[in-house]
Structure 1
């Protein structure tokens, strides 16, 4: 274990480029594969790329706001006290790793966007309390909780096929979450990962020769910048009085809270990325108390989202080439050809993990693989609910080494993708086994 961890960490540190260059390399790889395997012309591949390039704009904005609103909320005195209180549960580096992994995993089971932000922010506060902890491993531990998201309450595939009028309803009908999220195989996978991932990450700490101690204080959560340039009340202009008015923030905050109450009253406990951003945003407005403090926090927050803004269109272009050229379908069909009714979920899981490199979106991946894997499952007599969840777990599995989803966490942490991916490779290798066991034997 020690040899493997050191090997992957050194290899990633030496050879893995910045996340933006990773997206460029994937673009070129898919471009060449589309020409050589699918017979598409270079002109066609460029057309597919350009046509898909802007398809993730709404999603890129959502993920940018996750980082911004999470930063805003975390920089408020109230939330900072909560995170500091939780961080007091860790007094040693080992306890820090276990605490962050477990809390991030539970948070991601509730909602993936919520979990990404909570895991990163808690890791920063824990690192400040336990400065001897390996900061890179701590952030990798926070990110490892994201492995659980597609088996949790915000899993896009199980929720989609449980919703009337989904695009495969004529083929499989409506599959309730009792057969997917609350099935025995999914509960087994979730519980095993939730219990063992903290132990694995703690073991990775022991397998390191040296500690890489990046300064967690690089991410500011104090009020110095937020409180700067507050003029004396007696010398304020009318505009400055509005900017420093607690009444203004309270009024718009109450309006936001009213909608949050309305949302949960009419929809039940439905957490999607938009309502998470909405909650973060309006709690941030209220807890900062004045518009000026809030806007100062926004100014600090937006510095962290550059990578998301510039990289997500390239992934949308990759998705466009994969789908339009038929490359994703060809990959999926090959795995179907070597499957039977018992092994189809396992091979579906592996194929989904590969496709996820190029189509790193749960909903997008289901649109690509669902129409292939579900008819195959019906034809050979495999469990359709388990096959659908195999796509979901494949999507979550290789997120551990796909920078797409790590970008919000890395932006908050102030790290590069190469800083955590060596550890994430070990998490990827380990997690294959409980997921595969759950899909084969339950």
Structure 2
């Protein structure tokens, strides 16, 4: 489950080094695999590409099968197959099993550190199985009871310290949550939330045990998803790292920025439609960024809540009507509050009640747009099979910019004389 602690200084030196392969080769062999797993995928793939097969085999044989599998997925299928065939027999069999599963499902998160017992098993017999597992893997296993091949429950590890000899384990077995191997990552998260337990057993279609997912595996997954969502909201590739090179950063960002440039031109074209109005009332240019900016901020709040709801399976496009209605209601109320504040400022500073009225109405309308777009667009993107955090942002920003400018300037054109 948990490997040795990697000194942060090792990672910093490796990330900062211009000659990463040389820096990597200076790391102790027992830590190399764990260091690779701490790096971003582009950095990891670059180092793996530079290593020969003998070196990679040596590294993988120091890792748990599930961690070795994670590294093998960064190689081409042909090279991965060649290297897998050269692994130690016990590791090879487990890695081949793990590679056969989808990494985005429960089976892609599980490990194989468990032993099985049947009803009537004595503690002394079980202890021998555990010792054999520890000798082969260096890991203390989870202990599951099966009856006719089906999961009965788990024997908590601490019970072994209290009971020995010929006593049977049956009465100490506890229920343990389980999940099908093909359920996706979100189902795994929900399983842990519904069942406060430190592990979930993974079963195949016949309800035979395939593996086990521990709570620390879930924490790693949640950390990965948080980083991915944060990067997605900013339009940054989730694989980019702070220490990546100049051209790597450009490669990850240029397309997103060009798309944003296109939407900026769209917003600018709306402003251009009201050029005469702006030239007559130059104060409009002062307040335009406020209206658009508040819409963008409100949309980001709604987007964050919606994405979390999607991840936790609390909302979907089918049951979204009440959720969207609540978000719109909150948007309108917040729009009214902020609209009154900005209107008061306009009246106090500019001595123009009509400008205040325009600002108040525009603020309400744009926060309505922000709430509607921020709630609906991520759900649509999810339905289309896209990442709602990454793909929805640009469309939501466009809605609030274009909608905010159009409403504000239309009202100004109609009401200001």
Would you call these one fold, judging by a TM-score over 0.5? no
Q: Whose helix fraction is larger, Structure 1's or Structure 2's?
A: 1
Report which structure shows greater RCO (CA 8 Å, sep ≥6): 1
Which structure: larger Rg? 2
Q: Which category describes the TM-score, using the shorter chain as reference length?
A: under 0.3
Q: TM-score by structure 2 length? A: 0.22
TM-score, length basis structure 1:
0.21
